[in-house]
Structure 1
């Protein structure tokens, strides 16, 4: 028997500050600690909710192994104090893991299978490196030329996009510089305050002479990535790191980062039952594939699909969080779809703020939810390219 379609509402959205990896504030902070923190901060926003009503915890993680293994969603949910009756599942769609988790939660609610689900994402690139600890590429990839792109590093795919869409080095550096400037301004004006749950970093140091462990705490309340000392001159001096004679550098690529976010998604029934105030409605989500060697262009296919599913036109979008995996692919997507640059990443993007892989989609969803309310806007979008040749896009409406 088919379920009746209903709306899915976001009633709380929080994230941790984004730390620089591998030597930033969270270098020694386990990922489940970050996730526990944002789960608790999110639930603190809805004191009227009975935790027993939460039916599942869906968490995105791009490399769910080692410190991020053992189903980190379930482990973190229990450690955060949720009842043992609450389920947990970790999902992986690389850089779209966090927004995929949010979409999965919304889907369960929309078809009537659940009324309260916690969604989010987590990633510690300090503890689990890019590609994981023991990457192993299938030899079958090399048997057919059309699959070779699956073995490309992400930086090389950015070079392929830059070449095919004629994105010049100067434009990439300017885009990167502007990302930092927007992020610095956003921090100075408190644009992120509503979404960030400050995190106390605990450091334990052994004192062998006294035979004891010294414990200290440092409050981290802002993203570590934005650099006030960045300049076009400095960016222009950086050498390409992925291809000889290329244009993609460390300065015009996203930063390796640590972070986590959580959003509470509920049905209209739950809104009434627990007297909750909706912040936003999750409208639609789409994933589309592209050739793996130009994975960065993925949003150009996913964005139109998400708009069609929502019954919206592109010019109805007021705020677009386009994940800046690389300046090259961001600029190519903007040009290909004729996105309004003023609506794209008004507070800066991953080049300045950081990109904790599987957490980013949930982090940027939290940004959209709060930005739409602060600026009295209607529709926002979270979109990104995805490894192995995909694009993802989710649309959120302020209510």
Structure 2
């Protein structure tokens, strides 16, 4: 297991070992995948995470396509499959309901998957599997993040919010759509993040809430969506609503709750009041813009971006985790193949992954309009395409 000691200072790692050193910023899917695979090719890795611990809250995610081969190479595919949440007990991906809760349409599972091999797994389970896969020499530091990056011919001098500084051979920015590394190296967020006209939120619910067990139910009113996804041992409420880009502090939970509450204050259909009460009472919620990140390049010198920091496709793509795992794998492969020459490895990494990213980013607007139709007519049109089994001929 990785070293979980949370030091108040990040010491220069070169003095600890003759190994090459890497700083990974962010301990989510991209960061943990990168840390594991950089360790495999001989790096001494430090992972720094702004949150006080690993972030486990979130709806289940998909491991699909080439990411399955990456998981197999890492030796974690069997563990991922053992922890999958999909089963024969959940025959449909989601059931659409009307304001009274009556089922009006259902989306078959095959509509959500690329192939029968795709694996749906809880965020918590995958985070724990990736975390356990990382070598014991890896150091994790929480409640800290880079505030200064200065490149020299032989490394990157990193200044941290906690007051320490250290030098690393390479720095990997895996800190998500609001990446601090991207901002320090490439400039303000607005240059790269494109808001797709929707905000999205998740809140934990008690399992079996309102009698919904082992299924997903979704209700749409014009321009918004709410749902309850129950996976037996975990349940989540989800929200999405159309809105232009809104100025708010994305780290301010009170501001997030206020935006969400105001977006649904005039809606009382289905279980919206229950879900808003859950938002009010929850110690933590997830809330953010549905956005894409588009960049012409993901590296500068010895600093490189992976995952959503480089190329968020948005949650409507269903491919964020798979892209993160694949990107981390390609990055490690190219570092190893280039004898750890960053300029060569990072260029090859970008050229190999970019076509996959562009494909994942396509079709997201169509998926948005499917899940969050802007009018009642479009809701009715969508539902008519996927009638209940009892109504099919």
TM-score if structure 2 supplies the norm length? 0.29
Which protein has greater RCO, CA pairs closer than 8 Å, 6+ apart? Answer: 1
Structure with larger Rg: 2
